[in-house]
Structure 1
């Protein structure tokens, strides 16, 4: 287990497993967008003094294990990351130059779970998510 982070009067170890999907669960996370999105998510997390410990982008959802500083709530960080990444995707891949309204790339909600002492289990789950997804898809074919 890692040592806790600290501010001047606070020590914390807040890690969360977070999952969210593109709008309508479209399988839109592919090739260039997938590579681009990985670096964008890490940069946005650093802007909020957070660190993405582990992450995996599937074609229709995002899994991350994130360490969030004690001065921000989970909803603040997730809202910031989803909002800014949607704007960045629109500018880079959809040809929009200005901020836009009425459209969004991500669906509204997200799933969050505290990690606690199960960090190793959650890390392995995220790392092997794609293999498990393919195995289940093959079972559904027969």
Structure 2
């Protein structure tokens, strides 16, 4: 699927994964639900289309389409930074565990969807052993 903004039509898709610091399994309800909502809000604000998404107990998987004016690194930096800051403000238990104010581990995995087809990435995310919900962005129980 192609998207367009006022300047161009584009089809730039990325598979992105990032994990919690020390792989602590802190993304449980209601934190995981709030994280999903923050990611959706952040993506809407930057005109990033979420094709599929999944929040595990210690990681986030996303397949997104980004406008060409956003670099992949700036996209991930924005989503990780904003979500970390807002989650730690709202959930004192996270601030206590991550006293250095870093919820996410350094780095991330990113692959442009090309050699691996979009369908393969969708199936991979879909089969993360997380119950299906009504939306395309699942949260692990």
Identify the residue that residue 91 of structure 2 maps to in structure 1: 93
Aligned positions of 1:62-141 closer than 5 A:
62-94=60-92, 102-116=100-114, 118-130=117-129
Cα distance in 2, alignment partners of residues 93 and 18 from structure 1:
25
- Determine which structure has more spread, i.e. the larger CA radius of gyration: 1
Q: TM-score, normalised by structure 2?
A: 0.81
Structure 1: which 5+ residue stretches go unaligned? 132-142
Structure 2: which 5+ residue stretches go unaligned? 131-141
Tell me how large the CA RMSD over aligned residues is: 1.9
Q: Which has the higher helix share?
A: 1
Identify the residue that residue 13 of structure 2 maps to in structure 1: 15
Aligned residues: 125
Q: CA deviation at 1:22?
A: 0.5
Q: TM-score, normalised by structure 1?
A: 0.81
Moved over 2 A (4+): 6-11
Cα distance in 1, alignment partners of residues 57 and 51 from structure 2:
20
Secondary structure in 1 matching 2:63: strand
Q: CA deviation at 1:115?
A: 1.2
